[in-house]
C-alpha cells in the first residue's frame, strides 16, 4: 500500500518527490560532514592558540634579552667614545662618578691611612692585546680601593654610598 502511494506521488510530481528526498538526504550528509570538519577545526584552533601563546612568550623573552644586549652595547659604545675623546687619560676607563669619590676621600681627614685606589689606576698595561685578559682576571677588582683598617673600610663605604658609587 505504501509502495503504491509512493508510485502515485512520483507520477504526480514527475519524480520531484524522489529528487527532493535525495536532496534532503544529501543535505543531511553534508551537514554531518560540515559538523565534523567544524569540530576538527576547533580542535586545531585550540592547539594553534596554545602555540601562539608559547611563541609570544619566547618572543618577549628574546626581546628582553635583545634589549639588555643593546643597553650593554650602548654603554660600551659610550665608554669607547669617552676613551677616544679623552685620548688615553688614566681615569677614562673608570666610572663617571670616580672624580666625586676621589674628591670626597681627599676631603676626609680622619683616615688612619688614606685609601689607595682604584686599583686599576696603579696598573700600567704595556700591550693592548692583554687588556681583555687583564679585565677578565681582575674583574671588578680594578675599581676597588685598598684600606688599612676596618674603621677606614667603614668610612670608605659610607663615602661611597654618599656619592652613589
**Domain coverage including residue 152:** 98-162
Based on the number of CB atoms within 10 Å of its own CB, is 165 exposed (0-12), middle (13-18) or buried (19 or more)? middle
Structural domain includes residue 91: no
HSE toward the beta carbon, residue 80, CA cutoff 13 A: 6
Residue 116: strand, helix, or coil? strand
Give pLDDT, residue 55. Answer: 92
Same domain, yes or no: 123 and 156? yes
Q: Using an 8 Å Cβ cutoff, are 139 and 150 in contact?
A: no
Give pLDDT, residue 152. Answer: 96
Give pLDDT, residue 90. Answer: 54
Structural domain includes residue 120: yes
Same domain, yes or no: 119 and 71? no
Domain count, the chain: 2
Structural domain includes residue 93: no
Please provide the size of the chain in residues. Answer: 165
Tell which of 86, 119, 150 closes a domain. 86
Q: In the chain, which stretches have pLDDT less than 50?
A: none
Tell which of 25, 60, 86 closes a domain. 86
The closest of 127, 118, 129, 130 to 92, measured between CA atoms, is: 118
Give pLDDT, residue 56. Answer: 93
Q: Using an 8 Å Cβ cutoff, are 105 and 115 in contact?
A: yes
Structural domain includes residue 78: yes
Same domain, yes or no: 108 and 81? no
Structural domain includes residue 92: no
Residue 146: strand, helix, or coil? strand
Mean pLDDT (the chain) is 85
Q: Is the dihedral of CA 107, 108, 109, 115 positive or negative?
A: negative
Written as one string, the DSSP assignment of 79-98 is HHHHHHHHTT-TTTTS-TTH
Give pLDDT, residue 89. Answer: 54
Same domain, yes or no: 55 and 6? yes
The H or E element that residue 17 is part of is: helix 16-86
Same domain, yes or no: 66 and 106? no
Amino acid at each position: 500500500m505504501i509502495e503504491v502511494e509512493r508510485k502515485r506521488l512520483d507520477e504526480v510530481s514527475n519524480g520531484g518527490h524522489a529528487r527532493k528526498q535525495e536532496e534532503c538526504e544529501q543535505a543531511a550528509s553534508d551537514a554531518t560532514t560540515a559538523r565534523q570538519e567544524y569540530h576538527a577545526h576547533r580542535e586545531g584552533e585550540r592547539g594553534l592558540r596554545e602555540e601562539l601563546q608559547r611563541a609570544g612568550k619566547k618572543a618577549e623573552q628574546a626581546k628582553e634579552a635583545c634589549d639588555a644586549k643593546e643597553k650593554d652595547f650602548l654603554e660600551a659604545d659610550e665608554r669607547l667614545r669617552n676613551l677616544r675623546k679623552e685620548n688615553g687619560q688614566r681615569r677614562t676607563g673608570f666610572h663617571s662618578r670616580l672624580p666625586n669619590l676621589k674628591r670626597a676621600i681627599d676631603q676626609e681627614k680622619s683616615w688612619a691611612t688614606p685609601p689607595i685606589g682604584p686599583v686599576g689606576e696603579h696598573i700600567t698595561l704595556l700591550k693592548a692585546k692583554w687588556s681583555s685578559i687583564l679585565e677578565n682576571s681582575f674583574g671588578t677588582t680594578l675599581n676597588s680601593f685598598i684600606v688599612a683598617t676596618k674603621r677606614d673600610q667603614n668610612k670608605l663605604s659610607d663615602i661611597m654610598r654618599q656619592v652613589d658609587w
